[in-house]
Amino acid sequence: MSNLESYPPVFRQLKASTPPQLAELNNNSNSMGDTTQVSSSVDIPLVDLECLSLEKLGEVCKEWGIFRLVNHGIPPSLLSKLEEHVKRVLSLSFESKEARLTSPLSYFWGTPLLTPTGDALRGALNINWLEGINVPLCHLQQFESGDPKLHDFRL
């Protein structure tokens, strides 16, 4: 399968005009690079669990809605396994991801919006290059999959 098949259909259509960004993504899509480094172009706030400030956490959530968590105690080997597994799942065809990643999981792409219950909303007007899998931990016990690619999420 070409990696283009893993893209949502709207991005596949862009391939005809091949903008430089899409060509670059197509050439490098299997290489996420070193995800332990924070990009210097966007300074995503850090939240340190060793010296957690609830005031700072509230401020970051309100202003950014996203942060990078450090000193969380998760072993680097487990994070590496998870990253490799996510790469394999996200490299599946778009149609396969839509079919496999169902309740309680949510597969989302474009500009994601999650409801308070954790469901992914679709059909946003502005689409960004982003895809992900929402795994609501409160519903994790409901997750049963005979699909080995998904079962491995329960490391």
pLDDT of residue 75: 94
Contact 97, 6 (CB under 8 A): yes
pLDDT of residue 129: 67
pLDDT of residue 141: 75
Q: How many CA atoms lie within 13 A of 128 on its CB side?
A: 6
Q: How many CB atoms lie within 10 A of CB 58?
A: 10
Summarised one tens digit per residue, pLDDT across range 86-145 is 888 888 998 988 888 887 888 887 765 555 565 656 554 445 667 888 878 787 777 777
pLDDT of residue 130: 75
Summarised one tens digit per residue, pLDDT across range 12-70 is 776 555 555 445 544 544 444 444 444 445 688 899 999 999 999 999 998 888 888 99
Contact 120, 114 (CB under 8 A): yes
Please state the rounded mean pLDDT for residues 74-88: 89
Tell me which of 125 and 146 has the higher pLDDT. 146
pLDDT of residue 31: 41
Domain boundaries, the chain: 3-30+91-151
Position 80 pLDDT exceeds 50? yes
pLDDT of residue 9: 76
Task: Report CA torsion sign: 122, 67, 35, 100.
Answer: negative
pLDDT of residue 14: 62
Position 73 pLDDT exceeds 90? yes
